Chains A and B, each alone.
Chain A
C-alpha cells in the first residue's frame, strides 16, 4: 500500500467538509532509470524516485487541485483542508470506498528492477554497433534507454479505490549521417508497456538500429523537398501522428467541453470520408498507451471515435462530462501527481481499409510519399496542424521516385479527414510521447497507409 486506507479516507473527508461534491486522491511512487550512450560509450547514468500525492476537489464545474511530496500524512490532510477553503457549503456525503481493487492486466514478465544496468548497457551497445556499421556515412550514433515503474493508487468520493503498477521501457536510437558538411539524421524509438522481455525476446534491437541508419543515409542523399499543394500518401506506424494531431486533440473533452474545438456539436454527423474509422483503445494488451485504469480510477476502454466517417464519441473525463452531457469514457490521464488529470488519448489509430499501399502509389501520378513522419502540433481552436516528414519521396507516374528532405505538411484537421480518399490494409502502431495540459504521457499512434487528395507541402526548394 502506497498510503493507508484510513489516511486516504481522512484526506477525502477533509476535502468534502466545506461543500465540495467530489474529492479524489492520487498517490504515486515511480522509479525510473535513464542511460545515455554517445559514440558507443555510456556518458550518463541516472536514476530517480518520485513520490507524491495529488488531491482534487470539485463543486459543480469548479475544480481545485493541489499536490505535495511531503511524506507526512498530516501535511496531506492539511493540503486537503487548505483546498477545501475554496468552497463553502454543507458537508457532502461520500460513497464509502470499495474494497481495494488491483489492476492485473498488462503485466511485465521481466521487471526493469530485475535487469542490471550492465545488461541494459549491453543492449545499447548492440544497437550502437548495428547502426555504426551500417555505412561509412554514419558518423555518430546517440542512444537513450529509459525504463520506469509507476505504482499508482486512486481513491475518490464516488467510492472508487483502485491501483496498479505500470511498467514501461523505451530505447531511442538516433543515427547521424554526414558527408561534405551536410548532416542528416534517422531515428527509431521502439518501446513497450511490457517488461524487458520486449527487448530481450520479442524484437531484434539491431533491426531498429539499422533502420535508423538507413533513414539517415537516405536523407543525406535526398534533395530539398519542393513546396506546393499535392496528394500525399502517409504510410503506417508513426504516420498515425496525422490523426493524433489533426483530429485526436480536437476530440478531447479538454477542448470540446469549452466549445473550443472545431468538432463541437458534430456527434453523429459526417466528419470524415466514409472509408475512415478511427479508434482510441486504452485496453490493448501491454501497449505503450494502455493501463488498467485511467488516472481517475475508471477502467480504460476501447472508444470508437469515428465509424465510417461519422463522429461517434469524444474522449471525456468525469469532470468535463459535467459540462458536456456525455458519459465519461475512461480517458482521464496525467503525467504524474504534479498534474490534475484530464481527457487524453491512449493508443489512437485509423483502422484498416481495403486498398494496398502498392495500389495507392500506382494510382498517384504525382505527389509525396511520406514513408516516415516526425512529430507535429495542432491548434484545437482552429484545427490547423503541422507535422514534419522525416523520410519522404516524390511519386512520379505511379512510382516512388527521388528521396526528398525537410518536408512539412500543414492543413486543417476537419478538412483533411474529408480528403482521405484511399486507406490501405497495413495497420501498425508506433510509440510517441504526447504533451498537453496534464503533462507528457506515453501514447501510441497508428494507421495503415492513407492518401490525402491534397495537402500543403512545405519545403526549402520552393514551388515547382
Chain B
C-alpha cells in the first residue's frame, strides 16, 4: 500500500493525523514424533494496523489486504469507528522522541541463514536423547520453532521507525509411566543464538523431572512454606502483570490503585520492565505509539515506583509515557523479577516443612487480576528438613497477589526467560494455604 496515498485520503475525510504500523512475519515450526519429522510448518504473513485521529479520538483498523483499492473502505470504517468513541480522554499521534535505543543483537542473521536441515536435526536428536534416557518413557515429542518479525511505524507527524527481531524456541515433552502412575514433563529454551540450545542439559532436565514426579499424590490440606521454581513463579506473575497498567489503575480495575510510593512487597522484591533484554524477541526500542521504550523499576525493594503508561494514561496522570503501548493495550515488554544472592538449593535448604512447587496450572481462570485472589492447581515436591522428598500433585495453592509479594522471604539467582516472556528466579515465600486431601 502506498502510505502517502492513505494519509492523503484520510486527511481529505477530516482525520487530523494517521499512523501505520506494519509487521512482516516469517515463521518456521518443526515437530518430531517417534523419531520422524511429523510436522513442518512455514508461514509468511503481514499485517497493517492503521490508526486515525479524528476529533481527538483514535480509531483503528487492522488489515491483511494491502492494495490501494482497499483504502476507501478502510477510511470509511475508521470514520464510523471514530464517531462512536465518546470517552473523555484526548488521544494524540506522536511526533517521536529525540533518542531511541539501538538494539542490534535482536536480529541474528546467522540463525535465519542456518540450514533448515540442521534445525530438523536438532529436534530429532532431542527426540532420540529423550527416548534413550529411561525405559519408563512411553511418549516423546520435540519441537523447534523460529520467527522473524520486522516492524515499520510511520505517521503524518513525520515519524518513521523500524525494528527487526528473530527468536527461536527449542523444547520437548515426555510421558513416563509405571504400574501405578503416569506423569508428563515439558521444558524449553528461548534464544536467537543457536549455540544456546544445549541438547543434553534439556533432555536431562525434562526426563529427570518426569521420572521424579511418578507416584505424585496430594498432601494433607494445611498451610505450608513454599519455594516456587522459576517457571511456576513466572506463571503466577503472568496472570497478574495487568495490575501494573495505568489504564487498569485509572479505571479502578487494578489492586495497585492508590498505592504508588507505598510498600506493596517485601524488601527482597524488585520487579523491572527491561525492554532491552538480550535474546528476547519481545525486546523493542519503541512501542506501538512510537514512544521510546525505557528500563524502569516497577517495584523497588518492595516499594511501588511507577505504573506502565501509554500516551493517554500518561497525559491523564501528568507524567511521561513509559513506552508500554502494545497491541491496543498497556503491557510490559520483558517483565523481570531481579535476582537475589542465593542458589535454589539454598532456598530449599532453608525450609523445614514445606513444598517445592515446580508448576502451577490454570492461571487464566484461577487467578483474578482485579481482586488479586488466586487458587491454582500445583505440583512439585515435599520439602522435609531442607531436603526434597516425595512428589506432589493435585493440590491447590491459594492466596492474594499482594499478600504473596509481601510474603516473599528470599529470591534465588537462577533466572530464565520463560514461555510467558517473563524472567524470574526461584522464590521462597512464607506459609500459604494448600488444599489436598
Distance to closest chain A CB from B313 (angstroms): 11
- Residue among B85, B364, B373 making CB contact with A45, cutoff 8 Å: B85
Cβ contact within 8 Å between B251 and A381:
no
Measured in the bound complex, the distance between the Cα atoms of B26 and A68 in whole Å is: 9
Interface residues of A in 30-73 (CB under 8 A from B): 35, 38-39, 41-52, 61-71
Within 8 A of B (CB), among A361-414: 374-377, 379, 381-382, 384-388, 405-408, 410-412
Find out whether the CB atom of B64 lies under 8 angstroms from the CB atom of A50: yes
* Chain B, Cβ-Cβ closest to A373: B365
The 8 A CB mask of B80-97 against A (1 = contact, 0 = none) is 111111111100000000
Closest to B77 in A: A47
Answer whether A381 and B139 are a contact pair too, CB < 8 Å, given A42-B85, A64-B41.
Answer: yes
Bound Cα distance A205, B173 (Å): 45
Evaluate contact between A140 and B42: CB separation under 8 angstroms.
Answer: no
Known A460-B399, A462-B221; 13 more pairs at CB < 8 Å = A41-B87, A45-B60, A46-B61, A48-B62, A51-B65, A65-B39, A259-B138, A377-B362, A381-B184, A382-B184, A386-B396, A406-B368, A408-B396
Known: A38-B251, A62-B36, A118-B84. A458 touches B396 (CB 8 A): yes
Judged by a CB distance under 8 angstroms, whether B400 is at the interface is yes
Please tell me which stretch of B13-21, B145-153, B429-437 contacts chain A, meaning at least 4 of its Cβ atoms lie within 8 angstroms of it.
B429-437
Q: Is B223 an interface residue (CB 8 A)?
A: yes
Chain A residues whose C-beta falls within 8 Å of the C-beta of B364 in the assembled complex: 375, 377
B62 touches A46 (CB 8 A): yes
List, in ascending order, chain A residues with CB within 8 A of B377's CB: 384-386, 408, 410, 458
- Which of B33, B220, B395 is A258 in contact with, Cβ under 8 Å? B33
Cα distance A82–B43 in the bound complex, in angstroms: 11
Segment touching B, from A181-189, A290-298, A441-449: A181-189
- Are A142 and B65 CB-contacts (below 8 A) given A68-B44, A408-B366, A458-B395? no
**A116 to chain B: which residues have CB within 8 Å?**
80
For chain A, residues 62 to 97, give those with C-beta under 8 angstroms from any C-beta of chain B.
62-71, 79, 82-83, 86
Complex-state Cα separation, A60 to B376, whole angstroms: 41
Tell me which of A70, A184, A385 contacts B371 (CB under 8 A).
A184
- Interchain CB contact under 8 A, A386 and B361: yes
Q: For residue A117, which residues in chain B have a CB less than 8 angstroms away from its CB?
A: 80-81, 83-84
Q: What is the chain B residue whose CB lies nearest that of A75? A: B44
What are the 8 A-B residue pairs with the smallest beta carbon separation, nearest first?
A: A458-B396, A227-B435, A375-B365, A386-B377, A45-B81, A458-B435, A381-B184, A408-B375
Asked if B67 is at the interface of the complex by the 8 Å CB criterion, the answer is: yes
Q: Could you tell me the distance between the alpha carbons of A258 and B141 in the complex, rounded to whole angstroms?
A: 10
Q: Find residues 49-81 in chain B having any chain A CB closer than 8 Å to their own CB.
A: 59-65, 67, 70, 77-78, 80-81
By beta carbon, the residue of chain A nearest B63 is: A49
State A379–B213 Cα separation when bound (angstroms).
14
A304 at the interface (CB under 8 A from B): no
Contact residue range for chain A? 35 or more
B41 near A65 with CB under 8 A, answer: yes
Q: Is there a chain B Cβ closer than 8 Å to A452's Cβ? A: no
A228 at the interface (CB under 8 A from B): yes
Determine if A273 is an interface residue (Cβ-Cβ < 8 Å).
no
> Which size bracket describes the interface of B in this complex?
35 or more
Interface membership of B370, Cβ < 8 A? yes
B residues near A, CB below 8 A? 33, 36-47, 59-65, 67, 70, 77-78, 80-89, 138-139, 141, 173, 175, 182-184, 218, 220-223, 251-253, 255, 328, 361-362, 364-366, 368, 370-371, 373-377, 379, 393-400, 433-437
**A382/B437 in contact, CB under 8 A:** no
* 10 A–B contacts from the bound complex (CB under 8 Å): A39-B251, A47-B81, A49-B61, A61-B38, A79-B44, A117-B81, A227-B433, A381-B139, A386-B366, A463-B222
What distance in Å separates the Cβ of A436 from its nearest Cβ neighbour in chain B?
13
Determine which residue in A38, A83, A386 has the highest number of CB atoms from chain B within 10 A of its CB, and name it: A386
Main secondary structure of the interface of B (DSSP, over half): strand
- Cβ of B394 and Cβ of A412 under 8 Å apart? yes
A interface with B by C-beta (< 8 Å): 35, 38-39, 41-52, 61-71, 79, 82-83, 86, 116-118, 120-121, 139-140, 142, 176, 178, 182-185, 225, 227-229, 258-260, 262, 338, 340, 374-377, 379, 381-382, 384-388, 405-408, 410-412, 456-463
**A407→B368 CA distance, assembly (Å):** 11
A406 touches B435 (CB 8 A): no
Contact status A183-B255, CB under 8 Å? yes
B77 / chain A contacts, CB cutoff of 8 Å? 47
Looking at the assembled complex, report how far the CB atom of A74 sits from the nearest CB atom of chain B, in whole angstroms. 13
* Shortest distance from the beta carbon of B69 to any chain A beta carbon, whole Å: 11
Max chain A Cβ within 10 angstroms of own Cβ: one of B70, B85, B399: B85
Nearest CB on A from B135, distance (A): 16
Contact of B435 among A64, A338, A405, A457 (CB under 8 A): A457
B375–A388 CB distance below 8 A: yes
A55: min CB distance to chain B, Å: 10
Is the CB–CB distance between B361 and A377 below 8 Å?
A: yes
**Given contacts A65-B41, A82-B42, A462-B433, are A411 and B65 in contact (CB under 8 A)?**
no
Residues of A with C-beta under 8 A to B141: 258
A46 in contact with B139 (CB, 8 Å):
no
Asked whether, in the complex, the Cβ of B221 is within 8 Å of the Cβ of A71, the reply is no
**Cross-chain contact of B375 among A38, A182, A384, A459 (Cβ < 8 A):** A459
Contact A45 B84 (CB under 8 A): yes
CB distance from A323 to the nearest CB of B (A): 10
CB distance from B158 to the nearest CB of A (A): 25
A29 nearest CB neighbor, chain B only: B65
Q: Which residue of A lies closest to B73 (CB)?
A: A49
Shortest Cβ distance from B41 into A: residue? A65
Whether A410 contacts B395 by the Cβ 8 Å rule is yes
Chain B residues near A47: list those with CB within 8 A: 60-62, 77-78, 81
Complex alpha-carbon distance, A52 and B46, angstroms: 10
In the complex, the answer to whether B64 meets A43 with C-beta atoms within 8 Å is no
A15 to B235: give the CA distance in the assembly, Å: 41
A41–B86 contact, CB under 8 A? Answer: yes
A45 contacts which chain B residues (CB < 8 A)? 59-60, 80-82, 84-85
CB–CB B370/A176 < 8 A = yes
- Quick one: given A176-B252, A463-B221, are A458 and B397 in contact (CB under 8 Å)? yes
